[in-house]
Structure 1
Amino acid sequence: MTPFSFQSIGIVHSPFKEKFGIPRQPGLAPSSKAVLELLPPFNVPDAVNGLDQFSHIWVVFVFHETAQRGWTPTVRPPRLGGNERMGVFATRSTHRPNPIGLSVVELDRIEVNGEKVLLHLKNIDLLDGTPVLDIKPYIPYSDALPQANAGFAASAPERIMTVSFDSAIAEQLADLPDLKQLIIDVLSFDPRPAYKVEKSEDRVYGMAIGDKDVKFIIDKNKLRVIGL
């Protein structure tokens, strides 16, 4: 087989600083925002001429943090509780023969500032530092197929957690409503591995969101943020 090599055209600047807790699909955290910065020699306004006419784009990227782990022929999808194995090509697992990901995200605006060309994105599931291989416009008439059969992922996941904040944390977030909403959007889906979802635990979990280390505890379907 002919080997291929690809050059990154951009990099993602995201509030999600680690894999744990990132929304498992795009579209699940409406308050999430990121910036896709085009890299030289692709950081020219001509390269994005006309892209602002589209509300959404496809982002083709590399699972850079898990790429070295290689691939496995079967994986345990979270949607099946992590208890049933499916073929890797029947899932969107990061552990693929070629560590390539695909996300459709909302394009909020395009900013050109000197030599910087920045795409401001919303509703994302991208890790900070993600290398981007390509960008394509999302075209509803061909890309949206509501009659399609989606197998075991036929419906969107439900928000299963009620998220609350200790009083001291609520005070800290009083002037940061966007961050507070992002924390709620992410944690309400329960970021733990699927096999732990039905359990109550004494453990304190942590998740890096922006410059905050969000600490939380879980009791059944109630999640409480206890530290930042």
Structure 2
Amino acid sequence: MRFEFQPIGLCRSPYTDKFGIPRQPRLVTAAEARIELLAPYDREEAFAGLEGFSHVWLLFVFHQDCLEAGWRAQVRPPRLGGRDKVGVFASRSPYRPNPIGISAVAQHGLERQGKGQGKGLALRIAGADLLDGTPILDIKPYVPYADAIADAEGGFANTPPQARFQVGFSEDAQRQLAEQDADGRLRLRALIEEVIAQDPRPGYMDRYPERRVFVLQLYALEIHWWIDGERALVTRVHPVQPATGSKTGL
């Protein structure tokens, strides 16, 4: 049997590169995004009643690299330091027989950028862990009595990850932050702090303690930072060059 699905929308998020995306939803609460609905699904009546739900499930496609890479029977989850293997069905690895993911995120209602049907209808969300441009297959309300299982066991991921680093900003970085997010709309400082505090590096990086300088991309900005023990210092925030970055439209 074969099935074909069409996306109902695209996610527009701060994460314009895979490095830096949190490994689970809602770990970075400052990550605000939106689902831009595609026709014919860009209709307010399709969302009637959703205002009573605080969170939604997003079903999406791991569209970058995974479609061509195929699936793997065993994977190395970052939670296990990128060393130990588990079965793909005991993980949330993107390298699955069908590269489909699911995330529970906060929803903050609909917005329309223009007037009239089909003029930029989007669902605002927060706490996303999706790459900018991710195709969305479906949106479902999160129902607490059915979806939250109080006595569930989480296997090797039974507790939430703890913040790894205390994050600071150099004087230059603070000035550049003020320039790039003058009105605070992007919540850029909080976003950078939360992303880096979670330690976005691959699990195997502990094998390379001499590597201390890193660069990640949020929106159309490069964030330069270095680590010293349990401290991370952001040293530079500047626009990416046109050849290496793209704007998210947020």
The 1:79–1:143 alpha-carbon spacing in structure 2 relative to 1, beyond 3 Å, is same
Distance 2:173 2:131 in 1: 25
Q: For residues 170-222 of structure 1, what are the alpha-carbon distances to aligned partners after superposition, in whole Å with 9 as ceiling and x for unaligned? A: 12224635101000010101111101146533453211101211111122322
**What is the rounded CA distance, in whole Å, between the counterparts of 1:198 and 1:145 in structure 2?**
37
Q: Could you list the per-position Cα deviations for residues 63-115 of structure 1 after superposition, in whole angstroms to 9, with x for gaps in the alignment? A: 00022111110001111111100000000001111000000000012113432
Percent of paired sites with the same residue: 44
1:140 to 138, 144, 169: 144
Where 1:18 maps in the other structure, the secondary structure is coil
Q: Report the secondary structure of 1:168's partner residue.
A: helix
Residues 75-84 or 113-122, more deviating = 113-122
Q: Which deviations, in whole Å up to 9, do the C-alpha atoms of 1:107-137 show, x marking residues without a partner?
A: 0121134322210001110110000000000
Secondary structure in 2 aligned to 1:173? Answer: helix
Q: Which moved more, 1:172-181 or 1:144-153?
A: 172-181
Q: TM-score, normalised by structure 1?
A: 0.95
Is the Cα contact below 8 Å between 1:12 and 1:128 reproduced in 2?
Answer: yes
Q: Does 1:6 align with 2:11?
A: no
Of 171, 176, 180, the match for 2:175:
171
- Given candidates 142, 151, 160, the residue that maps to 2:155 is 151
The superposition leaves residues 32-62 of structure 1 with CA deviations (integer Å, 9 ceiling, x where unpaired) of: 1001011011111111111121100000000
Partner of 2:21: 22
What is aligned with 2:131? 127
**How many pairs does the alignment contain?**
227
Is 2:236 aligned against 1:227? yes
Q: Distance in 2 between matches of 1:50 and 1:127?
A: 28
Instruction: State the distance in 2 between where 1:214 and 1:157 align.
Output: 23
With the length of structure 2 as denominator, give the TM-score of the two structures: 0.87
Deviates more, 1:202-211 or 1:16-25: 202-211
Measured in 2, the distance between the counterparts of 1:31 and 1:93 equals 24
Contact conserved, 2:26 with 2:105, CA < 8 A, in 1? yes
What amino acid is the match of 2:80? L
Q: Flag structure 2 segments of 5+ consecutive residues without an equivalent.
A: 238-250
Measured in 2, the distance between the counterparts of 1:7 and 1:188 equals 36
8 Å Cα contact 1:207/1:214 also seen in 2:
yes
Report if the CA contact (8 A) 2:212-2:228 is conserved. no
**Cα contact 1:201–1:218 (8 A) shared by 2:** no
SS in 1 for 2:174: helix
* Partner residue, 1:211: 220
Whole-angstrom CA distance in 2 between matches of 1:119 and 1:206: 30
One-letter code aligned to 1:95: Y
Q: Give me the whole-angstrom Cα distance separating, in 2, the residues matched to 1:60 and 1:203.
A: 36
Corresponding position of 1:41: 40
| Cα-to-partner distance string for 1:133-155 (whole Å, 9 max, x where unaligned) | 00000000000012101100000
Moved more, 153-162 or 106-115: 106-115
CA distance in 2, matches of 1:155, 1:203: 27
Which residue identity does 2:63 align to in structure 1? H
Aligned 1:103-118 pairs, distance under 5 A: 103-112=103-112, 113=114, 114=116, 115=118, 116-118=120-122
Mapped pair 1:185 → 2:194: yes
Q: Where in structure 1 are there 5+ consecutive unaligned residues?
A: none
Q: Which runs of 4+ in 1 moved over 6 A?
A: none
